[in-house]
């Protein structure tokens, strides 16, 4: 779309929607369909966190500089005119930070109740990311739950805060931190599963060591799971992490059941449906270790979006995925000597 001239008062807002569509495939559409009161705050929240993540992801930034920017990002939101040109040319969203002053202007124009939520979550996420880039590793399941809390669970808490502050949503959401956090955890754990090959290549994998250690040959690193001769081990590890992620589904259904506003419901449900379809696609699937960038089919995504209109339809889709995953689970019994998660997957499906 065309952007008004820099002198126009609409310039900053138009640039933000240009950046939203530029940086996000899935979120751009559901954000723009939100009711007017929430659309702009959620768009700015998205761009702020996308900027923060672009700093986190860049493995070419000097570590001390990266940590400094991550920790102070929530204060940068008040610095009119701030831009950041230090990202390497490979960072796909670097242009957002090169023009970040437009996001700051729009942030400063939001109602205080929205600015408070966004700044608080940005502060906590930046601090958490900084801990993990400066030496903290994802070893135990607790570490895995903490990292995913920082980068996604906090998004669930923040969005819930925005929904309630807008007056458009169920006030009961206010005391639902546990399930709001788990809405984010489910999305992020699926993202971490599916990005195995790309993240391993970049040296920033988030699969918990305590889990992958159970499956790699003695003394080997996690990259061993990408070798064809270790495919059985890799699938067993993948299935273990799928079982862990599937445990979050009941909380996600509880959260979605509380939503009252149609546009908020679809905003929350569409990413969840993509995530459950993605787990279904990758459960026990060798492709995850063989080709990066593999996704669910476009036609399936369109069908899920069409069926995301109400909770009964969403529950039906989950029910069918539970049956189908359970079926895949049953058919693989006894085919993989390393696989020990049959029972857990079966339980999650029931
Ligand atoms: C609705 C209660 C503010 C809408 C939506 C930018 C995606 C990017 O993509 O591996 O592989 O590079 O680096 C709960 C979204 C959680 C987050 C986390 C739903 C902000 C989003 C910054 C809660 C999205 C989980 C990094 C951090 O992983 O990613 C409800 C809005 C939601 C952004 C996501 C992503 C984390 C991330 P990639 P990474
Ligand atoms: Mn990222
Ligand atoms: Mn990241
Ligand atoms: Mn990722
Ligand atoms: Mn990534």
pLDDT in tens, 278-297: 999 999 999 999 999 889 99
Nearest-CA residue for atom 30 of ligand 1:
156
Cα–Cα dist 157/284, whole Å = 32
What percent of the chain clears pLDDT 70, i.e. is strictly above it?
Answer: 99
Contacts 24+ apart (CB under 8 A), 169-178: 169/259, 169/260, 169/261, 169/264, 170/258, 170/259, 170/260, 172/258, 173/258, 173/259, 176/255, 176/258, 178/251
Cα–Cα dist 38/41, whole Å = 6
pTM for the predicted model, two decimal places: 0.95
The H-assigned helical ranges of the chain are 11-23, 26-32, 36-57, 63-76, 94-98, 101-108, 112-133, 141-148, 154-166, 177-194, 196-201, 209-212, 231-246, 249-258, 262-282, 298-306, 311-332, 342-349
Other CB atoms within a 10 A radius of the CB of residue 8 amount to: 11
Higher pLDDT, 204 or 27: 27
Q: Are 53 and 128 in contact (CB under 8 A)?
A: no
- Residues having CB closer than 6 A to ligand 1 are 27, 42, 45-46, 49-50, 53, 57, 151-152, 155-156, 159-160, 180, 183-184, 187-188, 191, 195, 268, 271
Cα-Cα-Cα-Cα dihedral sign, residues 35, 38, 44, 45: negative
Whole-Å CA distances, 160 to 145, 180, 272, 330: 19, 7, 15, 38
130 token code pair = 């900084």
CB-based contacts of 143, cutoff 8 Å, min separation 6: 136, 137, 208
111 Cα: distance to centroid of ligand 5 (angstroms): 31
Q: Considering only CA atoms, which of 65, 292, 98, 268 is closest in space to residue 183?
A: 268
295 Cα: distance to centroid of ligand 2 (angstroms): 16
The distance between the two most distant Cα atoms of the chain, rounded to a whole number of Å, is 68
CB-based contacts of 203, cutoff 8 Å, min separation 6: 59
Candidate from 191, 203, 207 with most ligand 1 atoms within 8 A of CB, to mutate: 191
- Predicted confidence band at 4 (pLDDT cuts at 50, 70, 90)? confident
Q: Does pLDDT of 6 surpass 80? A: no
Confidence (pLDDT) at 1: 57
60 token code pair = 């070419």
Mean confidence (pLDDT) of the chain: 96
Q: Does pLDDT of 9 surpass 80? A: no
192 Cα: distance to centroid of ligand 4 (angstroms): 5
pLDDT in tens, 76-118: 999 999 999 999 999 999 999 999 999 999 999 999 999 999 9
Query: Closest ligand 1 atom, CA of 31?
Result: 4
Region 1-6: mean pLDDT is: 73
pLDDT in tens, 235-259: 999 999 999 999 999 999 999 999 9
Q: Are 185 and 145 in contact (CB under 8 A)?
A: yes
Confidence (pLDDT) at 229: 97
CB-based contacts of 36, cutoff 8 Å, min separation 6: none
Q: Considering only CA atoms, which of 88, 68, 78 is closest in space to residue 130?
A: 68
3-class secondary structure, 56? helix
Candidate from 129, 152, 177 with most ligand 1 atoms within 8 A of CB, to mutate: 152
Cα–Cα dist 305/91, whole Å = 29
8 Cα: distance to centroid of ligand 3 (angstroms): 34
Nearest-CA residue for atom 2 of ligand 1:
156
pLDDT in tens, 25-57: 889 999 999 999 999 999 999 999 999 999 999
Q: 239, exposed or middle or buried, with CB in 10 Å at 0-12, 13-18, 19+?
A: buried
- Predicted confidence band at 333 (pLDDT cuts at 50, 70, 90)? confident
93 token code pair = 């969203």
Region 159-178: mean pLDDT is: 97
Report ipTM for this prediction: 0.92
pLDDT in tens, 139-149: 999 999 999 99
53 Cα: distance to centroid of ligand 1 (angstroms): 9
Candidate from 27, 49, 87, 175 with most ligand 1 atoms within 8 A of CB, to mutate: 49
CB-based contacts of 118, cutoff 8 Å, min separation 6: 41, 44, 45, 48, 77, 107, 110, 158, 162
Which ligand is nearest the CA of 194, by number? 4
80 Cα: distance to centroid of ligand 4 (angstroms): 30
Confidence (pLDDT) at 238: 98
């Amino acid at each position: 779309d065309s952007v008004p001239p820099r002198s126009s008062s609409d310039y900053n807002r138009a640039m933000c929607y240009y950046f939203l569509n530029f940086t996000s495939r899935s979120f751009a559409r559901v954000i723009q369909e939100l009711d007017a009161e929430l659309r702009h705050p959620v768009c700015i929240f998205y761009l702020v966190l996308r900027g923060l993540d672009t700093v986190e992801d860049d493995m070419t930034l000097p570590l001390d500089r990266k940590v400094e920017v991550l920790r102070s990002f929530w204060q940068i939101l008040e610095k009119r005119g701030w831009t950041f040109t230090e990202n390497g040319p490979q960072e796909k969203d670097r242009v957002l930070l090169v023009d970040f002053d437009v996001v700051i202007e729009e942030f400063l124009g939001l109602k205080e109740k929205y600015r408070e939520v966004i700044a608080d979550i940005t502060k906590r996420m930046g601090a958490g990311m900084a801990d993990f880039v400066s030496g903290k590793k994802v070893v135990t399941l607790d570490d895995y739950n903490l990292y995913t809390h920082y980068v996604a669970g906090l998004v669930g808490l923040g969005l819930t805060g925005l929904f309630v502050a807008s007056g458009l949503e169920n006030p009961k959401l206010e005391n639902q931190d546990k399930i709001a956090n788990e809405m984010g955890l489910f999305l992020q754990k699926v993202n971490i599963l599916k990005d195995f090959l790309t993240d391993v290549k970049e040296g920033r994998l988030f699969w918990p060591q305590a889990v992958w250690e159970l499956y790699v040959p003695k003394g080997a690193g996690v990259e061993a799971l990408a070798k064809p001769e270790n495919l059985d081990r890799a699938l067993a590890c993948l299935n273990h992490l799928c079982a862990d992620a599937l445990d979050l589904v009941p909380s996600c259904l509880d959260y979605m059941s509380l939503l009252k506003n149609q546009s908020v419901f679809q905003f929350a449900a569409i990413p969840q449906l993509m995530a459950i379809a993605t787990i279904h696609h990758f459960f026990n699937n060798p492709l995850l270790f063989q080709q990066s960038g593999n996704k669910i089919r476009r036609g399936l995504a369109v069908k899920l979006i069409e069926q995301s209109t109400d909770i009964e339809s969403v529950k039906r889709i989950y029910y069918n995925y539970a049956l189908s995953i359970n079926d895949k689970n049953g058919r693989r019994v006894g085919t993989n000597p390393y696989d020990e998660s049959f029972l857990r997957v079966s339980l999650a499906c029931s």
